[in-house]
């Protein structure tokens, strides 16, 4: 490790990491909501990412779902309490994202390379107080990255952060992009107050490098990680090779043994997010139970059987109070919850007409 690196490590070694996760691209509402639900329930994620306007190197690749994705991000925030971020590359993107109260925007590597685009975005952001993360430019040019940061900071936005995603070079590198760690460390010296986040997904370009790149970033004292996670990475419409499932992502965090920012900042908020997701699951289960009860109701009607069958209900309650006891749940709770559910089932069965 070089001297520079040691200085950064010393400065931040006690800090906890800010964790950003989510798919490379928002593809469908279901895909976005599924992965967001999983990540929210984990309580390990500070910020949900999903690209909706995708800058693609070649035409004909998936270019993102566009503004409809903003609705899905808003839904992620409302339903799971996860703040969201997305990439903007034009002033129009900024205006759209502001309309939907997206929490944080990021400027992609291709855009950071272009001072005209940067200025247009900075002007659109002026005074908005939204947080902005600035990825390094494609080429290993520290001045270009510095210029982009200065333009955005002059726009008087919210928190500005830096994302290191590696650099395109002509020579072949084992990673998708050459890291040149020394550039981001030097840049961080110029802006020591700005959080420095590593994006091991775009840096490595393959999920097999996520662990080694993330550990290196942590060792260097980076403030956070942005990791692409997808419910079904093999079928992802962009960057399939570098995305991982929610379970793989949790395993990665466990391997890295980092404590998330979220845990430090707001433990109650994190636990409440988990409660909300559990409540959602309970509602889904009750809905399923009602569907089965209705099917039973139809059979009872067909066979001319009574809707209420006391002996069956007594058996159910006996089994549940017994199981509840094993789980440390009181008889009163089991009685209340299941009596209410049972009454609803009976009501549904009585209402069956044909």
Contacting positions for ligand PEP (CB under 6 A): 24, 51, 55, 87, 108-109, 135, 165, 202
Considering all CA atoms of the chain, what is the largest pairwise distance in Å, rounded to the nearest integer? 84
| Residue 87 in contact with Mn ion, rule: CB under 5 A | no
**Cα separation of 46 and 161, whole Å?**
14
* Angle between helices 91-99 and 115-125 in degrees, nearest 10: 30
Min separation Cβ 51 and Mn ion, Å: 6
DSSP codes of every residue in 75-144: HHHHHH---EEEE--SHHHHHHHHHTT-SEEEE-HHHHT-HHHHHHHHHHHTT---EEEEEPPSSS-HHH
What is the DSSP track for 165-187? --B--SS--SSSSB--HHHHHHH
Cβ neighbours, 10 Å, residue 227: 24
Q: Which stretch binds Mn ion (CB under 5 A): 5-13, 24-32, 210-218, 295-303?
A: 24-32
Q: Which is nearer to ligand PEP, 165 or 261 (CB)?
A: 165
In whole angstroms, give the CA distance from residue 198 to residue 217: 6
Yes or no: say if 216 and 199 are a contact pair by the CB < 8 Å rule: no
Our CB check for ligand PEP shows the closer of 62 and 313 to be 62
Q: Which is nearer to ligand PEP, 203 or 218 (CB)?
A: 203
Contacts of Mn ion in 188-247 (CB under 5 A): 239
Residues 53-82 that bind Mn ion (CB under 5 A): none
Residue keyed to tokens 């005209």: 116
Q: What pairs with residue 106 in β-bridges?
A: 87, 133
Query: Between 202 and 273, whose beta carbon lies closer to ligand PEP?
Result: 202
Q: Among residues 91 and 346, whose Cβ is nearest to ligand PEP?
A: 91
Closest-by-Cβ residue to Mn ion is 24
CB 83 within 8 A of CB 103: yes
Cα–Cα distance measured from residue 160 to residue 105, given in angstroms and rounded to the nearest whole number: 10
Whichever of 108 and 195 has its CB closer to Mn ion, that residue is 108
- In whole angstroms, the minimum distance from the beta carbon of 54 to ligand PEP comes to 6
The footprint of Mn ion on this chain (CB under 5 A) covers a number of residues equal to 2
Rounded least distance, CB 87 to ligand PEP, Å: 6
**Two structure tokens written together for 339:** 């009596």
Find the shortest distance in angstroms from Cβ 316 to Mn ion.
50
24 binds Mn ion (CB under 5 A): yes
Please report whether residue 46 would count as binding Mn ion according to CB under 5 A: no
CB of 206 to Mn ion, least distance (A): 12
Q: Do 161 and 133 contact (CB within 8 A), yes or no?
A: yes
Nearer to ligand PEP, 41 or 76 (CB): 76
Q: Which does 165 bind (CB under 5 to 8 A by kind): Mn ion, ligand PEP, none?
A: ligand PEP
123 — phi, psi (to 5°)? -65, -40
Cβ of residue 156: shortest distance to Mn ion, in angstroms? Answer: 29
Cβ nearer to Mn ion, comparing 26 with 94: 26
Minimum Å gap between C-beta 202 and ligand PEP is 4
- For the chain, the first-to-last Cα distance in angstroms comes to 76
- CA gap 170, 47 in Å, rounded: 33
Shortest Å distance, C-beta 214 to Mn ion: 16
For binding to Mn ion (CB under 5 A), which residues are involved? 24, 239
């Amino acid at each position: 490790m070089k001297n520079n690196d040691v200085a950064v490590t010393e400065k931040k070694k006690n800090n906890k990491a800010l964790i950003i996760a989510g798919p490379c691209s928002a593809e469908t509402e279901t895909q976005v909501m599924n992965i967001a639900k999983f990540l929210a329930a984990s309580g390990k994620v500070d910020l949900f990412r999903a690209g909706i306007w995708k800058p693609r190197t070649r035409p004909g690749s998936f270019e993102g779902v566009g503004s409809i994705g903003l609705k899905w991000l808003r839904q992620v925030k409302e339903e799971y309490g996860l703040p969201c971020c997305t990439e903007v590359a034009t002033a129009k993107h900024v205006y759209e994202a502001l309309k939907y109260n997206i929490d944080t925007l990021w400027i992609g590597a291709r855009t950071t390379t272009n001072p005209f685009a940067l200025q247009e975005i900075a002007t659109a952001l002026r005074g908005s107080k939204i947080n902005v993360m600035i990825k390094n430019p494609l080429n290993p040019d520290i001045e270009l990255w510095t210029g982009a940061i200065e333009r955005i900071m002059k726009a008087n936005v919210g928190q500005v952060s830096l994302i290191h995603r590696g650099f395109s070079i002509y020579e072949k590198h084992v990673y998708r992009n050459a890291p040149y760690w020394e550039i981001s460390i030097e840049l961080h010296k110029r802006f020591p107050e700005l959080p420095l986040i590593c994006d091991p997904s775009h840096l490595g370009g393959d999920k097999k490098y996520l662990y080694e790149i993330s550990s290196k970033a942590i060792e260097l004292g980076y403030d956070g990680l942005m990791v692409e996670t997808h419910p079904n990475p093999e079928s992802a419409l962009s960057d399939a090779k570098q995305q991982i499932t929610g379970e793989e992502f949790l395993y990665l965090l466990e391997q890295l043994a980092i404590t998330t920012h979220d845990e430090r900042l707001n433990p109650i908020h994190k636990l409440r997010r988990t409660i909300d997701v559990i409540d959602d699951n309970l509602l889904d289960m009750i809905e399923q139970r009602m569907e089965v009860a209705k099917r039973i109701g139809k059979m009872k009607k067909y066979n001319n059987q009574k809707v209420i069958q006391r002996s069956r209900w007594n058996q159910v309650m006996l089994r549940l109070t017994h199981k509840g006891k094993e789980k440390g749940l009181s008889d009163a709770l089991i009685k209340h919850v299941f009596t209410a559910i049972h009454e609803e089932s009976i009501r549904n069965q009585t209402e069956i007409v044909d």
